[in-house]
Amino acid sequence: MKIVVLPASLDFKTYERVFDEVAATPDGNVLFDGRHVRFVDPNGMVNLLAAGSLARSRKGAPARLEFPEQSEVAGYMARMGFFRAAENVFEVVGRPPQRSEGPSDVLLEITPITENSDVHEVVDRVQKRAGAILTRRLNYPPTAVVQFSVILSEVCQNILEHAEAPGWVAAQSYNWTQRLGRQVVVISVADMGRGFQGSLSDEHSARFGDRWGDATALEAAFIHGLTRFPDSGRGQGIQQIRKQVRRWGGLISIRSGTARIADVPEWEDVPPLTEGLTAFPGSQINIIIPEHATNDA
């Protein structure tokens, strides 16, 4: 059995290591050792579900997961709905903390996206909860709540319309005082579908010839708004999300197959295009929106 030791900080910067190790285990016989995780964000949790799903599909049975020893971390994962979402993915070793039924400070728990009504549920939930977080903690005007909901709606629809497979979405705010000197909201979306190259190949691969691949497919969708649908109204969602995230000084990245593309703000140092990553199914979207500074537009 392959033991994958989860990084102490499981987030956008580190989940790639988990993907590498899981993808390199053809029989999917993996134990995810999360005992030493000290910090986890929506990217960490959602992409851990994706990694577990890949292991499960290869093994034909749930992969094993040891949850963090630190009770605050495991409790936080419970509040984010991780263990509920993990029921069909992992065999959790031991008894994980239960999610309390009381009021929650979570912006959006891990929510499976399998059908149209799930997107409505996400928007309903965020409309109720995002106001206080965006206006009080991140200093955005009240109108930003609707724009935030629109972003979530469009990224969730990306799962339904392009992946043709289930996925998850989650969002939460964090205090990045040391890293950025500001609060941020992190949105993470992942699916186990066919990825951007798979979605676009039938319609667009011929025109790109030998250049066609994961990076080209991501550029086609992310930069040029191409979709597999002949309808000319399609493809605007990602373009408009990019515009809004840029207006807010945020980061958006999409990983699919072996490549990742990003709109990178000045406070982050990830490359705008990364190729040669470990092949992984589906796509993973990461959006980080920083606190609104007084000199922002």
Partner 1 sequence: MMRELGIDPVPIDVGGVLQRSVATLYSHLVTRPTGRAVRLAIETQLAEISRPALSLIDLSEVTVLDFSCADEVVAKLLLRFLEEDRPGDAYFVLRGLGDQHRGPITTVLEHHNLLAVVQLDGASFELIGTRTEIEESTWEILEEAGHVRADHVVEMFPGEAEWLALAELVERRVVLRHADPDGYYALSALVRDLPAPSSDT
Q: Which positions touch partner 1 (CB under 8 A)?
A: 116-117, 119-120, 123-124, 127, 143, 146-147, 149-150, 153-154, 157, 160-161, 232-234, 236-237, 240
**Are residues 172 and 137 in contact, defined by beta-carbon separation less than 8 angstroms?**
no
Residues 6 or more apart whose CB falls under 8 angstroms from that of 40 comprise 9, 10, 11, 48, 68, 73, 76, 77
Residues 6 or more apart whose CB falls under 8 angstroms from that of 18 comprise 4, 6, 7, 10, 32, 47, 48, 51
Tell me how far, at minimum, the Cβ of 120 lies from partner 1, in Å. Answer: 5
Tell me how far, at minimum, the Cβ of 146 lies from partner 1, in Å. Answer: 4
Q: Is 251 left (phi over 0), alpha (psi -120 to 50) or beta?
A: beta
Tell me how far, at minimum, the Cβ of 187 lies from partner 1, in Å. Answer: 15
Tell me how far, at minimum, the Cβ of 156 lies from partner 1, in Å. Answer: 8
Geometric angle at alpha carbon 76, from 286 and 36, rounded to 5° = 85
> CA-to-CA distance for 249 and 290, rounded, in angstroms?
7
Tell me how far, at minimum, the Cβ of 217 lies from partner 1, in Å. Answer: 21
Start-to-end CA span in the chain (Å): 52
Residues 6 or more apart whose CB falls under 8 angstroms from that of 137 comprise 173, 183, 291
40 or 145: whose CB is closer to partner 1?
145
